[in-house]
Amino acid sequence: MNGRLVESIVANMRSKDTQELLNLYVENDREQYSEEAFEAIRRLLNERGQALPAQNEAVLPKDDDIAVPPADIERSVKISRNTLLIWGCVNTALWFFAGAEDRRIVAVHFEPIKPLLWFLMYGGLVIGLLMLALGILGFFIKKTRALLFTGLILIVLGILNIGYPFLISWALGEYGHDIDPVAIIFDAGNRFWMFLGFLQMGWGAKNIEMYLKIRRHGTGEKVASTR
């Protein structure tokens, strides 16, 4: 329980008359009021020498209506920001070290470099640098937006990892090379990246879901303090 929040609610509710506080306590509406709010009511009634009456059966909120506790938001934002920074470093490092030989071969055998092939060659670097930039930006912008940025970019990254066999087949087809995407899919390395792509999409969707829940219901602290 957030002690500072309880004290803030006590100050806000002090102007309410005793009967109103008793009614709120008896109704026990957990959909409208947080545990901190009920603790504040208990303290005020004790101050006024009122015995605490029996409460009605609690009216509980539906899962979709529960405000997100501030601690959960802080933890989710921190994880999202770190996700951007970590994946940004991974993508950028892989581009420099793992793809150097492939880029050399492409530069020798495929001229001119067409847009789709250029994207496949340099997209990893662009995405890696973008994730690093957004991760750093997450320290300075409104916190919850880090969840949205992380979710969107993970979904894009997942789609690219899943779609890579089809994109590379399409890109090489522009140069007259007919390569079946299925053959690329069943390469061991590509199966791993496609599997990772599905995980990234699910991870990204969870971040966006959390962001939208915060936008709809706010935080537990906000809901309690405004009652």
| Secondary structure (H, E, C), the chain | CCHHHHHHHHHHHCCCCHHHHHHHHHHCECCCCCHHHHHHHHHHHHHCCCCCCCCCCCECCCHHHCCECHHHHHHHHHHHHHHHHHHHHHHHHHHHHCCHHHHHHHHHHCCCCCHHHHHHHHHHHHHHHHHHHHHHHCCCCCCCHHHHHHHHHHHHHHHHHHHHHHHHHHHHHCCCCCCCHHHHHCCHHHHHHHHHHHHHHHHHHHHHHHHHHHHHHCEHHHHHHCC
Give pTM, 2 decimals.
Answer: 0.60
153 close to 84: Cβ distance less than 8 angstroms: yes
Phi-psi bin for 176: left (phi > 0), alpha (psi -120 to 50), beta?
left
CA distance 132 to 92: 9
Check whether the bond before 112 is cis (ω within 30° of 0).
yes
> In the prediction, which pLDDT does 220 show?
42
Q: Nearest to residue 160, comparing CAs of 196, 212, 110, 205?
A: 196
Using the predicted structure, report yes or no on whether residue 196 has a pLDDT greater than 70.
yes
Q: Which residue has the higher pLDDT, 157 or 188?
A: 157
What are the Cα distances from residue 123, in Å, to 33, 43, 171, 221?
49, 59, 14, 41
Using the predicted structure, report yes or no on whether residue 43 has a pLDDT greater than 80.
yes
Using the predicted structure, report yes or no on whether residue 182 has a pLDDT greater than 70.
yes
Q: What is the pLDDT of residues 74-127, one digit of tens each?
A: 788 888 888 889 988 988 888 888 777 877 888 778 878 888 888 888 888 888
Please identify which residue in the block is written with the tokens 């994730």: 131
Q: For the CA atoms of the chain, what is the radius of gyration?
A: 27
Using the predicted structure, report yes or no on whether residue 227 has a pLDDT greater than 50.
no
Band of pLDDT at residue 172, cut at 50, 70 and 90: confident
Report the DSSP beta bridge partners of residue 179: none
Using the predicted structure, report yes or no on whether residue 156 has a pLDDT greater than 80.
yes
As a whole number, mean pLDDT of residues 207-221 equals 71
